[in-house]
Structure formats: C-alpha cells, structure tokens
Amino acid sequence: MENSIRSIMEYLCQTRAFEKITFSKCREAQVMRTAAVPFARRGEAYIQIETVGADGRASHRNIPASEAAEVLCEMAERGYRQTNVHTAEGDCEIRFSKKEQCTILNRIRPVGTAVQLASHNKKKRYLLDPVEDMGARAFLYRLGITDEGGRILDKKRPKYRQINRFLELVEDVADALPKEGEIVIYDLCCGKSYLTFAVYHYFTAIRGRQVRMHGVDLKPDVIAYCCETAAALGMEGLTFSCGDINAMQPPAGEVPDLVLSLHACDVATDIVLKNAVRFGARAVLSTPCCHHEVFHAMHSEPLSFITRHSMLAQKLADAATDALRCLWLELHDYDVQTVELIDPEETPKNMMIRAQKRKKARGEKEKQALQAQYENACALIGCVPYLGRDS
C-alpha cells in the first residue's frame, strides 16, 4: 500500500479492515462532520456514510464497498481538512494545512485479508429498557406501552421509539443544566404525560438527580389520571395541575431549568414558548404540531407560485412558522437549533426546536438585525403569527 490518500482508501475498501473513518473540519460551514463504517447487507460489503449537519440532523448513504473508494478519496482530498482512520492494524491521520499542504501519518500495518463483516441490522439500545429496568417497566406498563413482562405492545412501538428519541435529545442538553442540587422541569401541554414520566425516570433513576417536575394541561380527566399514576408509582417531586399556561405562576424565585412540550397543537406551541421565555427557562425542547394559523393567514403575491398549491402551501406554512419561532427565541437571547425527532415515515411532525438560554445577552445591534429579519419575513408571507403579535 502506497502512502497516498487514494491507495489508503482503496486498500480500506478492498479489505474493509477498518472500524471507522471520521472526516472533520469540513470546508463547508453547513456540515459538522462525517463518518464512514463498513457493514454487510445480504452478504454484500457496503460502506455507510453518515453526515451530520450544523443543525444536528444526520443523513446516511450506503455505498457498495467496491464503489466507495472514489467517494472516500474525494471527501478526504477536497471535502475535509482532517481525516482519521481507525483499524485493528493501526491508525492513520490525514491533515491539510491552511496552505493546503497535506500530511499523512499512516501507522496501518496491512494484513491484506478481507475481514468478515457483521450485519448492519444490530438491535438498537434504548435509554428505556423495560425488560432490564423495572422502574421503566412500571410506568410504561401503566401508560399502556408494554405488557406486564415488559414487552413493547405492537401498536405502541412508534410511541416507544419516539419517547426514547426525545430522551436522547434531553441527554444532549442535560450536561448544560445545573450540576448540583434539584433540577426543575416543566412539561407544558403535557397530555397523557408519556414524556413527563420518561424524563422524570431518566433524571432520577438513570442520572441519579433530584427532580421537581410539574406537568400542566387543560384536560381535567387527563390530569386526574396523571396524578393517580404518579402517586401509584411513588414518584416524589412529580406533580400535575389543570389550567391555562398563560395564567401559571411559578413559586417565588423558581426558574425552570428545562421546559418540555411534545406536539402541542398549532398556537399551543407558541404559548409554550412564550411562557418558557417568561419563566426564564434555561433550556427548551419543543416539538410543534399542526401549523394551522399561518397556513390560513398567509397571503403573499411573491409566494403565490407556492401558495396556490395547497400541499406546497402547507409545507411552506410549516417551515415559515417554525423558522419565525426560532427567530423569536433568538430575539429573546436563546441559541436555537432544529433537529429531527423521529423517522418521518412514523410521523410527519418530526422536527424539534431546541433552545438554550445564552449566558450573555445579545447586543442591541444584533437584536435590531434579528427584529428587522423577523419583520421582513412576516411581510413576505403576509401575516404576523401569534408570537409576533403577542411580544
């Protein structure tokens, strides 16, 4: 094997004798990193390439190993400034300087024999394992997601995957929450509270933290059920109340560390975000649903080539609504990302707004620029959504 990028990539694809190739320091700002791993599918060798964008969303490509060398070579030479290869035969690092000088540190000691690959279809490990975790089994059974033995009911598998994915996103912000003392969490528009019980269990049982958590919803029967369930499970510090979030007043001096909302319908998401900001929440995780308001109010001649088609108008309304929500949060001194919640084949409402309070407020000039951007966007779509009218 010659000490060149092409010969290295060709060797790796021929033998599949690598665990992972990590591409970093991308030349395009919209990409954070890319990783490549070998796997077998129907007896054939493939390379899976996972690319993570700046918004945290991941995309995947599966390429036959016999065709992957050219792609990997192109990425290493022109797409990224650093490439790290990890193999059982040694590691390799490829670096490009600012002046485009290439350095290759190749410690791979070739064996030259193609390795036997395992199937890519490994069983996914979930944060909530009702078979091994009795606490998880207890609340999942009471919520109708598992049977008494911890088996996920067939009709509830999408909900189970959705809860676990939400917990993965909670885990992403967990380290940004206070390291000591009690964590205060609000679940607004909590509904039947699948998420509330799961997040409570995650912080108390998995991370060993003390939690004070409160769920709020307008439906008295749902809140009565949640209160009964929390009491039966002995979940101390978990409470629920029935009422209007706009009228909610936290105890004196209490600031929520985390505000959650899963699929609050239409402007209910705006109400959640408005009050999360009012409470001074340190972090917000919200998955919107049913963007009716902007869809019905939107009126724009420049965008009429889109809005005259109902299906496209709905997609535009969805994107515009959530983009304006992100802008509004940025105006209120939050750093904001949008991330994918779950496979879009399971639910089209699969986007999450993830916001974290900035330690230092934005400067006046930056806020003026954001405000102008917000107003221009509203003018373009021909309406001002709830948050813009209410702020």
Q: Is the pLDDT of residue 87 over 90?
A: no
Question: Residue 211 in 3-state DSSP?
Answer: strand
Q: Is the pLDDT of residue 115 over 60?
A: no
Q: Is the pLDDT of residue 380 over 90?
A: yes
Q: What is the pLDDT of residue 266?
A: 87
Residue with tokens 């912000």: 173
Measured CA to CA in angstroms, residue 332 lies from 203, 369, 371 at distances of 27, 13, 10
Question: Residue 152 in 3-state DSSP?
Answer: strand
Of 81, 108, 117, residue with least CA distance to 8: 108
In terms of Cβ atoms closer than 10 Å to its own Cβ (0-12, 13-18, 19+), residue 381 is buried
Assigned token pair, 360: 């230092």
**Using one digit for the tens of pLDDT, what is the confidence trace for 44-73?**
888 999 888 877 777 888 899 889 999 999
Measured CA to CA in angstroms, residue 341 lies from 198, 213, 261 at distances of 16, 22, 13
Residue with tokens 């009228």: 247
Residue 116 confidence class, pLDDT cut points 50, 70, 90: low
> The whole model's pTM is what?
0.69
Residue with tokens 């009716």: 292
CA–CA separation, 32 and 46 (whole Å)? 23
Q: What percent of the chain has pLDDT over 90?
A: 61
How does the average pLDDT of the chain come out, rounded?
89
Q: Is the pLDDT of residue 31 over 80?
A: yes
In terms of Cβ atoms closer than 10 Å to its own Cβ (0-12, 13-18, 19+), residue 154 is exposed
Q: What is the mean pLDDT of residues 376-380?
A: 97
CB 54 within 8 A of CB 29: yes
Q: Is the pLDDT of residue 250 over 70?
A: yes
Q: Where do the domains of the chain lie, and which CATH numbers do they carry?
A: 5-106 (no CATH), 158-390 (3.40.50.150)
Q: Is the pLDDT of residue 348 over 60?
A: no
Of 114, 163, 123, residue with least CA distance to 143: 163
Cβ contacts of 104 within 8 Å, gap of 6 or more? 3, 4, 5, 8, 92, 93, 94
DSSP state of 146: B
CA–CA separation, 238 and 244 (whole Å)? 19
Q: What is the pLDDT of residue 132?
A: 84
Q: What angle do CA 361, 170, 331 make, to 5 degrees?
A: 25
